[in-house]
Copies of this chain bind each other. A is one copy, B any other.
Amino acid sequence: MSRRNTVQKSTILKNLQERCDHPSALDVYHSIKSELPQVSLATVYRNLEDLSQQGKVRKLDTLDDITRFDGNISPHSHVICSHCGAIEDIAPVNSDLMLKEAQKNSLFAIREIEFVFSGLCPNCHISN
């Protein structure tokens, strides 16, 4: 795990915290290019991995196979539009009951539940 503060790392974190969407590594890369023209994609990947291991950003488990990141680390879930892939935040749901219920029937020591809600976003809902 990296320890040093670099311009790259802080710029990436700041970028993620300032935006309200759920960008991929490539999105972040393009987004900080104007500020750091020399930055490389590899550095973005490395720092996003670091930051997520440090708990400073969240790594999202979306339904496509692209890893997305979230600068908002307060507890909340996500809804994904099954038509266009749009992702929105959703208020945190209380999962204690569900966790207990699941634990009853499993030998695993269950620690957490990740909810991935899916449906149609307003735009796709209208046009379908």
Contacts and interface: CB of A to CB of B under 8 A. Distances in A.
Interface of A: 61, 63, 65, 67, 77, 79, 81-82, 88, 90-91, 93, 98-99, 101-102, 105-122, 125
Contacts of A108: 79, 81, 88, 117, 119-122, 125
A77 B61 contact: no
Number of copies: 2
B111 A114 contact: no
Given A67-B65, A77-B102, A79-B106, A118 B114 contact: yes
Contacts of A112: 117-119
Contacts of A65: 65, 67
